[in-house]
């Protein structure tokens, strides 16, 4: 494990480390990131000392097409650790945000390193808003914002890592069923009418399932559509 008081991005560091042979389970934690990254090239910003920011190097023996399951696994572990340590009613917005009361508490940026067609490593980068008191958008919140109390970041880190370990072992043994059942049970997305944007394409439909590769299944006017990645909007965000 490496701890950095200040770093550009834990994902960037973990990628460099993985390329130079970091063992599975190598962990990069930071108190502050100057260039934290989110999905779709967005910035991920958190004041120093407020958020839980880390990246885990995994070397799953799965096909690249199944790498999305690693991000689902991370979100599921975050959701459970937050729910159990705070009592908050947290849900998973497909593919891997954790929401409480419709606001974002955590995001996952899972990046695959490929060697030809082989998945060499997956960097699971996780940000959890723990003790932030201000937010750039009213769609985000923190444990402090929801409970009015500071929460110990490293206790939460330990719980998330334990949860990831347990789910990763099951997945590595070929058992993805429990993970998918959990993601369906605690989904903020299933059963909703959504707009899914991926690159330049936009699909509208009802989110009806998460399939065994972690894809979101949408029931659309043109039949069932399966999406491996993208951004989902619901309700008033759809406009």
Pick one of 22, 53, 68, 143: the residue that binds ligand BTN (CB under 6 A).
53
Check residue 107 for interaction with ligand BTN (CB under 6 A). Answer: yes
Residue range at the interface with ligand BTN (CB under 6 A); choices 3-11, 158-166, 188-196, 197-205: 3-11
Q: Which helix (H) or strand (E) holds 98?
A: strand 97-100
Distance CA 204, CA 222 (A): 10
Least distance (Å) between residue 173 CB and ligand BTN: 27
Least distance (Å) between residue 37 CB and ligand BTN: 4
Whether residue 190 contacts residue 208, with contact meaning beta carbons closer than 8 Å, is answered with yes
Pick one of 99, 108, 156, 160: the residue that binds ligand BTN (CB under 6 A).
108
Kindly report the CA angle at 25 between 76 and 40, in degrees rounded to 5? 55
104 is written with which tokens? Answer: 């974002």
Count CA within 13 A, CB hemisphere, residue 78.
31
Residue range at the interface with ligand BTN (CB under 6 A); choices 37-45, 86-94, 168-176, 185-193: 37-45
Least distance (Å) between residue 40 CB and ligand BTN: 7
Whether residue 29 contacts residue 2, with contact meaning beta carbons closer than 8 Å, is answered with yes
Residues of this chain that bind ligand BTN (CB under 6 A):
9-11, 33, 36-39, 42, 44, 53-55, 97, 107-109, 125-127
């Amino acid at each position: 494990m490496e701890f950095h008081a200040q770093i550009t991005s834990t994902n960037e560091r973990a990628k460099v480390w993985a390329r130079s042979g970091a063992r599975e389970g190598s962990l990069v934690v930071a108190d502050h990131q100057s260039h934290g990254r989110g999905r779709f090239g967005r910035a991920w910003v958190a004041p120093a000392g407020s958020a839980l920011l880390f990246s885990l190097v995994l070397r799953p023996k799965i096909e690249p097409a199944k790498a999305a399951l690693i991000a689902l696994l991370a979100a599921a572990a975050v959701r459970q650790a937050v729910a159990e340590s705070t009592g908050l009613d947290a849900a998973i917005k497909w593919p891997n945000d954790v929401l409480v009361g419709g606001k974002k508490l955590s995001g996952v940026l899972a990046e695959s390193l490929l060697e030809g067609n082989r998945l060499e490593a997956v960097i699971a980068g996780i940000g959890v808003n723990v003790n932030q008191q201000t937010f750039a958008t009213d769609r985000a919140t923190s444990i402090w914002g929801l409970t009015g109390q500071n929460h110990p970041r490293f206790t939460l880190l330990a719980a998330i890592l334990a949860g990831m370990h347990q789910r990763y072992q099951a997945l590595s043994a070929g058992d993805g069923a429990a993970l998918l059942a959990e993601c369906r049970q605690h989904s903020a997305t299933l059963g909703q009418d959504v707009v899914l944007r991926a690159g330049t394409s936009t699909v509208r439909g009802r989110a009806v399932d998460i399939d065994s590769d972690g894809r979101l299944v949408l029931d659309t006017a043109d039949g069932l559509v399966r999406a491996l990645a993208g951004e989902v909007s619901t309700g008033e965000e759809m406009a």
